[in-house]
Amino acid sequence: MTAALYLARSEVSVAMVEKLSPGGQMLMTHLIENYPGFPEGIEGWKLADAMAAHLDHYAVDRIGDEVSALESVDGVHRLTIGEDVVEAKAVVLCSGARYKRGGHPR
């Protein structure tokens, strides 16, 4: 959402693709205590909602689907999003991270 916000403010045509809900891991966090500006902490979903509402002020095309493939040929990036193929001049990947599992038996 931050990347989309910056680009939209620079008048770049932006589409933001999110397969779940905007906010990512923030939505799994009860209380975020290290985000500047919220000395008492803020619930993850509230911060995610505030960021999503901020984005509403800009012309960002929001696509609620999964990117299943990305192919780059001669400076054109082709993304498979659901059943569609979308072309873009540039792609910003913000797909997060997965926790490394310890491999211990449960």
Ligand X SMILES: Cc1cc2nc3c(=O)[nH]c(=O)nc-3n(C[C@H](O)[C@H](O)[C@H](O)COP(=O)(O)OP(=O)(O)OC[C@H]3O[C@@H](n4cnc5c(N)ncnc54)[C@H](O)[C@@H]3O)c2cc1C
Please identify which residue in 37, 39, 75, 96 interacts with ligand X, judged by CB under 6 A.
96
DSSP character at residue 56: T
DSSP character at residue 57: T
> In the complex with ligand X, which residue's Cβ is closer, 28 or 90?
28
- Applying CB under 6 A, does 24 fall inside the site for ligand X? yes
In the numeric block, the tokens 């997965």 are attached to 98
Please identify which residue in 9, 25, 61, 72 interacts with ligand X, judged by CB under 6 A.
25
Rounded Cα distance between 59 and 78, Å, is: 21
Please identify which residue in 34, 56, 69, 101 interacts with ligand X, judged by CB under 6 A.
34
DSSP character at residue 34: -
